Amino acid sequence: MTTPGTLLSQVLAQLQASPEPRMREVMTSLVRHLHEFAAEVRLTDREWAAAVGFLTETGRLPERDEFILLSDTLGLSMLVDLLGGHAAEGATETTVLGPFYVPDSPRRGNGTSTAERPSGDPAFVSGRVLGTDGTSITGAEVDVWQNGADMMYAVQDKTMPPGNLRGLFTTDDEGRFSFLGVRPVDYPVPVDGPVGRLLEATGRHPWRAAHLHAIVRADGYHPVTTHLFDDESRYLDSDVVFGVKPSLIKHFTPHEPGQPDRPAGIGPAERWYSLDHDFVLVRAT
Protein backbone atom coordinates (compact mmCIF):
# COMPACT_ATOMS: atom_id res chain seq x y z
CA MET A 1 0.00 0.00 0.00
CA THR A 2 1.46 3.34 -1.04
CA THR A 3 1.65 5.94 1.73
CA PRO A 4 3.02 9.52 1.65
CA GLY A 5 6.17 8.13 3.29
CA THR A 6 6.76 5.32 0.79
CA LEU A 7 6.04 7.69 -2.11
CA LEU A 8 8.60 10.21 -0.81
CA SER A 9 11.17 7.42 -0.49
CA GLN A 10 10.60 6.43 -4.13
CA VAL A 11 11.10 10.00 -5.33
CA LEU A 12 14.23 10.51 -3.21
CA ALA A 13 15.64 7.20 -4.46
CA GLN A 14 15.31 8.39 -8.07
CA LEU A 15 17.38 11.51 -7.24
CA GLN A 16 20.33 9.52 -5.92
CA ALA A 17 21.82 9.12 -9.40
CA SER A 18 22.28 12.90 -9.87
CA PRO A 19 25.74 13.32 -11.38
CA GLU A 20 26.40 16.54 -9.37
CA PRO A 21 26.42 16.06 -5.56
CA ARG A 22 25.16 19.62 -5.03
CA MET A 23 22.19 19.02 -7.38
CA ARG A 24 21.37 15.86 -5.43
CA GLU A 25 21.57 17.74 -2.12
CA VAL A 26 19.39 20.65 -3.25
CA MET A 27 16.76 18.50 -4.99
CA THR A 28 16.56 16.05 -2.09
CA SER A 29 15.82 18.86 0.36
CA LEU A 30 13.42 20.58 -2.07
CA VAL A 31 11.41 17.42 -2.75
CA ARG A 32 11.26 16.50 0.93
CA HIS A 33 9.93 19.94 1.88
CA LEU A 34 7.51 20.02 -1.07
CA HIS A 35 6.01 16.67 -0.01
CA GLU A 36 5.96 17.58 3.69
CA PHE A 37 4.13 20.81 2.82
CA ALA A 38 1.48 19.05 0.71
CA ALA A 39 0.94 16.31 3.30
CA GLU A 40 0.82 18.79 6.20
CA VAL A 41 -1.99 20.84 4.65
CA ARG A 42 -3.59 17.83 2.88
CA LEU A 43 -3.43 19.73 -0.42
CA THR A 44 -6.55 19.03 -2.49
CA ASP A 45 -6.90 18.39 -6.23
CA ARG A 46 -8.53 21.75 -6.70
CA GLU A 47 -5.82 23.63 -4.77
CA TRP A 48 -3.15 21.78 -6.73
CA ALA A 49 -4.80 22.84 -10.00
CA ALA A 50 -5.01 26.47 -8.78
CA ALA A 51 -1.30 26.37 -7.87
CA VAL A 52 -0.34 25.01 -11.30
CA GLY A 53 -2.38 27.80 -12.93
CA PHE A 54 -0.79 30.44 -10.69
CA LEU A 55 2.77 29.31 -11.46
CA THR A 56 2.09 29.10 -15.20
CA GLU A 57 0.66 32.63 -15.24
CA THR A 58 3.60 33.90 -13.15
CA GLY A 59 6.01 32.58 -15.76
CA ARG A 60 4.02 33.89 -18.71
CA LEU A 61 3.82 37.56 -17.74
CA PRO A 62 5.85 39.11 -20.55
CA GLU A 63 6.79 42.56 -19.26
CA ARG A 64 8.69 41.75 -16.06
CA ASP A 65 10.16 38.89 -14.08
CA GLU A 66 7.21 38.10 -11.84
CA PHE A 67 9.01 35.13 -10.23
CA ILE A 68 11.56 37.56 -8.72
CA LEU A 69 8.68 39.57 -7.32
CA LEU A 70 7.14 36.36 -5.95
CA SER A 71 10.44 35.40 -4.31
CA ASP A 72 10.78 38.93 -2.89
CA THR A 73 7.26 39.01 -1.44
CA LEU A 74 7.64 35.56 0.15
CA GLY A 75 10.85 36.68 1.87
CA LEU A 76 12.96 34.15 -0.07
CA SER A 77 15.16 36.81 -1.69
CA MET A 78 16.02 38.31 1.69
CA LEU A 79 16.73 34.83 3.06
CA VAL A 80 19.19 34.15 0.23
CA ASP A 81 20.74 37.58 0.90
CA LEU A 82 21.08 36.69 4.56
CA LEU A 83 22.57 33.24 3.89
CA GLY A 84 25.19 34.67 1.53
CA GLY A 85 26.04 37.78 3.55
CA HIS A 86 29.53 38.78 4.69
CA ALA A 87 28.05 39.96 7.98
CA ALA A 88 31.26 41.00 9.74
CA GLU A 89 30.96 43.03 12.94
CA GLY A 90 30.41 46.70 12.11
CA ALA A 91 30.08 46.20 8.33
CA THR A 92 27.18 47.71 6.37
CA GLU A 93 24.36 45.18 6.12
CA THR A 94 23.08 44.06 2.73
CA THR A 95 19.55 43.95 1.38
CA VAL A 96 17.77 43.05 -1.88
CA LEU A 97 18.96 44.40 -5.22
CA GLY A 98 15.37 44.79 -6.39
CA PRO A 99 14.15 44.82 -10.00
CA PHE A 100 15.00 48.44 -10.85
CA TYR A 101 18.81 48.41 -10.93
CA VAL A 102 20.32 49.33 -14.30
CA PRO A 103 24.09 48.97 -14.80
CA ASP A 104 26.28 51.84 -16.09
CA SER A 105 24.87 54.72 -14.06
CA PRO A 106 26.14 58.13 -15.25
CA ARG A 107 29.44 59.11 -13.60
CA ARG A 108 29.00 62.33 -11.65
CA GLY A 109 31.24 64.58 -9.55
CA ASN A 110 30.87 64.66 -5.77
CA GLY A 111 28.33 67.23 -4.62
CA THR A 112 26.45 67.32 -7.93
CA SER A 113 22.81 66.45 -8.46
CA THR A 114 21.35 63.17 -9.70
CA ALA A 115 18.02 64.87 -10.51
CA GLU A 116 18.01 65.71 -14.21
CA ARG A 117 14.41 66.94 -13.87
CA PRO A 118 12.55 68.30 -10.82
CA SER A 119 11.84 65.06 -8.94
CA GLY A 120 10.95 65.86 -5.32
CA ASP A 121 12.33 67.46 -2.15
CA PRO A 122 16.14 67.87 -2.42
CA ALA A 123 18.18 65.63 -0.14
CA PHE A 124 21.94 66.11 0.25
CA VAL A 125 23.55 62.73 0.97
CA SER A 126 27.17 62.52 2.11
CA GLY A 127 29.51 60.22 3.97
CA ARG A 128 32.60 58.07 3.79
CA VAL A 129 33.48 54.60 2.61
CA LEU A 130 35.50 52.79 5.28
CA GLY A 131 36.97 49.38 6.03
CA THR A 132 35.83 47.56 9.17
CA ASP A 133 39.09 48.72 10.84
CA GLY A 134 38.11 52.37 10.25
CA THR A 135 40.50 52.98 7.31
CA SER A 136 39.02 55.41 4.80
CA ILE A 137 38.94 54.01 1.27
CA THR A 138 39.93 56.31 -1.58
CA GLY A 139 38.61 55.61 -5.09
CA ALA A 140 35.62 53.51 -3.93
CA GLU A 141 32.54 53.61 -6.21
CA VAL A 142 29.15 54.55 -4.75
CA ASP A 143 26.47 53.57 -7.30
CA VAL A 144 23.08 55.02 -6.29
CA TRP A 145 19.53 54.83 -7.69
CA GLN A 146 16.20 55.85 -6.22
CA ASN A 147 12.68 56.99 -6.96
CA GLY A 148 11.24 60.49 -6.63
CA ALA A 149 7.90 62.06 -5.85
CA ASP A 150 6.11 60.19 -8.68
CA MET A 151 6.99 56.84 -6.97
CA MET A 152 8.81 55.59 -10.07
CA TYR A 153 12.37 54.73 -11.00
CA ALA A 154 13.77 56.17 -14.25
CA VAL A 155 13.58 52.67 -15.80
CA GLN A 156 9.82 52.62 -15.17
CA ASP A 157 8.99 56.20 -16.13
CA LYS A 158 9.48 56.73 -19.85
CA THR A 159 8.91 60.49 -19.48
CA MET A 160 12.16 60.82 -17.45
CA PRO A 161 15.73 60.75 -18.85
CA PRO A 162 17.23 57.28 -18.22
CA GLY A 163 19.92 58.67 -15.88
CA ASN A 164 17.46 60.54 -13.66
CA LEU A 165 18.08 59.94 -9.93
CA ARG A 166 20.99 57.66 -10.73
CA GLY A 167 24.71 58.31 -10.36
CA LEU A 168 28.13 56.74 -9.92
CA PHE A 169 30.33 58.66 -7.43
CA THR A 170 33.99 58.08 -6.49
CA THR A 171 35.37 58.70 -3.00
CA ASP A 172 38.07 61.37 -2.58
CA ASP A 173 41.39 61.03 -0.73
CA GLU A 174 39.56 61.11 2.62
CA GLY A 175 37.14 58.41 1.48
CA ARG A 176 34.31 60.96 1.10
CA PHE A 177 31.40 61.02 -1.36
CA SER A 178 28.38 63.33 -1.65
CA PHE A 179 25.48 63.99 -4.00
CA LEU A 180 22.27 65.93 -4.19
CA GLY A 181 19.36 63.52 -4.63
CA VAL A 182 15.75 63.80 -3.47
CA ARG A 183 13.96 62.38 -0.49
CA PRO A 184 12.65 58.95 -1.58
CA VAL A 185 8.95 58.03 -1.20
CA ASP A 186 7.01 54.87 -0.32
CA TYR A 187 5.77 52.96 -3.38
CA PRO A 188 3.80 49.80 -4.19
CA VAL A 189 5.31 46.82 -6.06
CA PRO A 190 3.45 46.04 -9.33
CA VAL A 191 0.06 44.53 -8.41
CA ASP A 192 -1.51 43.87 -11.82
CA GLY A 193 -0.26 40.25 -12.00
CA PRO A 194 -0.53 36.99 -10.02
CA VAL A 195 1.71 38.27 -7.20
CA GLY A 196 -0.65 41.23 -6.72
CA ARG A 197 -3.58 38.80 -6.46
CA LEU A 198 -1.68 36.63 -3.96
CA LEU A 199 -0.92 39.69 -1.81
CA GLU A 200 -4.60 40.58 -1.83
CA ALA A 201 -5.70 37.00 -1.07
CA THR A 202 -3.38 36.96 1.95
CA GLY A 203 -4.56 40.35 3.22
CA ARG A 204 -1.22 42.06 2.58
CA HIS A 205 -0.48 45.58 1.30
CA PRO A 206 1.95 45.99 -1.63
CA TRP A 207 4.08 48.85 -0.22
CA ARG A 208 7.81 49.18 0.10
CA ALA A 209 9.26 51.54 2.73
CA ALA A 210 10.90 54.64 1.16
CA HIS A 211 14.61 54.09 0.46
CA LEU A 212 17.70 54.98 -1.57
CA HIS A 213 19.59 52.10 -3.22
CA ALA A 214 23.37 51.84 -3.23
CA ILE A 215 26.00 49.37 -4.40
CA VAL A 216 29.41 50.26 -2.97
CA ARG A 217 32.51 48.72 -4.56
CA ALA A 218 36.22 49.08 -3.77
CA ASP A 219 39.32 47.16 -4.83
CA GLY A 220 40.27 44.59 -2.23
CA TYR A 221 36.86 44.63 -0.50
CA HIS A 222 33.60 42.70 -0.89
CA PRO A 223 31.04 44.93 -2.62
CA VAL A 224 27.83 45.67 -0.68
CA THR A 225 24.31 45.98 -2.12
CA THR A 226 22.12 47.87 0.29
CA HIS A 227 19.39 50.47 0.95
CA LEU A 228 19.11 53.52 3.20
CA PHE A 229 15.55 53.65 4.56
CA ASP A 230 13.74 56.82 5.60
CA ASP A 231 12.91 56.55 9.32
CA GLU A 232 9.60 58.39 8.75
CA SER A 233 8.20 55.76 6.34
CA ARG A 234 4.93 54.13 7.38
CA TYR A 235 6.09 50.77 6.08
CA LEU A 236 9.32 50.08 7.99
CA ASP A 237 7.63 47.29 9.95
CA SER A 238 5.76 45.80 7.02
CA ASP A 239 7.93 46.33 3.93
CA VAL A 240 6.39 43.95 1.38
CA VAL A 241 9.77 42.41 0.48
CA PHE A 242 11.10 42.30 4.08
CA GLY A 243 14.14 44.36 3.05
CA VAL A 244 14.36 46.55 6.17
CA LYS A 245 17.16 45.95 8.68
CA PRO A 246 17.36 48.26 11.72
CA SER A 247 20.93 49.35 10.90
CA LEU A 248 19.75 50.66 7.52
CA ILE A 249 17.08 53.04 8.89
CA LYS A 250 18.26 56.66 8.70
CA HIS A 251 16.93 60.11 9.50
CA PHE A 252 16.63 62.72 6.75
CA THR A 253 17.34 65.96 8.69
CA PRO A 254 15.04 68.79 7.53
CA HIS A 255 16.40 72.29 6.79
CA GLU A 256 14.41 75.50 6.47
CA PRO A 257 14.54 77.34 3.15
CA GLY A 258 16.79 80.33 2.48
CA GLN A 259 19.69 79.59 4.85
CA PRO A 260 23.12 80.50 3.46
CA ASP A 261 24.73 77.09 4.23
CA ARG A 262 22.52 75.24 1.76
CA PRO A 263 24.38 73.03 -0.76
CA ALA A 264 24.78 74.07 -4.39
CA GLY A 265 21.74 73.29 -6.55
CA ILE A 266 19.11 74.06 -3.90
CA GLY A 267 16.97 77.14 -4.60
CA PRO A 268 16.62 79.87 -1.89
CA ALA A 269 12.90 79.03 -1.40
CA GLU A 270 13.32 75.23 -1.21
CA ARG A 271 12.94 73.15 1.91
CA TRP A 272 15.64 70.44 1.86
CA TYR A 273 16.98 67.45 3.79
CA SER A 274 20.39 66.07 4.59
CA LEU A 275 21.62 62.59 5.42
CA ASP A 276 25.14 61.68 6.47
CA HIS A 277 26.03 57.98 6.27
CA ASP A 278 29.24 55.93 6.15
CA PHE A 279 29.39 52.64 4.25
CA VAL A 280 31.65 50.03 5.88
CA LEU A 281 33.11 47.26 3.72
CA VAL A 282 34.69 43.90 4.55
CA ARG A 283 38.16 43.23 3.19
CA ALA A 284 38.28 40.39 0.64
CA THR A 285 40.68 37.68 1.73
- Give residues in contact with a copy of itself (CB under 8 A): 1-4, 7-8, 10-11, 14-20, 23-27, 29-31, 33-45, 47-48, 52, 55-60, 65, 67-68, 71, 74-80, 82-84, 87, 93, 201-204, 238, 242, 245
Angle at 152 between CA 147 and CA 155, to 5 degrees: 95
CB-wise, 17 or 264, nearer to a copy of itself?
17
Which parts of the chain fold into alpha helices (H)?
Answer: 4-14, 21-41, 45-60, 66-73, 76-84, 194-201
Residues in the chain: 285
CB of 79 to a copy of itself, least distance (A): 5
Q: For residues 68 and 151, which CB has a smaller minimum distance to a copy of itself in the complex?
A: 68
Shortest Å distance, C-beta 213 to a copy of itself: 17
User: Nearer to a copy of itself by C-beta: 71 or 274?
Assistant: 71
Kindly state the smallest distance separating residue 208's Cβ from a copy of itself, in Å.
13
CB of 195 to a copy of itself, least distance (A): 13
Nearest CA among 279, 167, 285 for reference residue 226: 279
- Amino acid (one-letter) located at 270: E
Tell me the closest approach of the beta carbon of residue 46 to a copy of itself, in angstroms: 9
Which CA distances in Å does 143 have to 67, 119, 179, 216, 240? Answer: 26, 19, 11, 6, 24
Using the minimum distance from each CB to a copy of itself, give the nearer residue, 13 or 264: 13
The long-range contacts involving 234-237, CB below 8 angstroms and separated by at least 24 positions, are 234/186, 234/207, 234/209, 235/186, 235/205, 235/207, 235/208, 235/209, 235/210, 236/209
Q: Residue 37 or 104: which CB sits closer to a copy of itself?
A: 37
Among residues 34 and 102, whose Cβ is nearest to a copy of itself? 34
Phi and psi at residue 213, to the nearest 5°: -100, 145
Could you give the 3-state DSSP secondary structure of residue 99? coil
* Least distance in angstroms from the C-beta of 211 to a copy of itself: 16
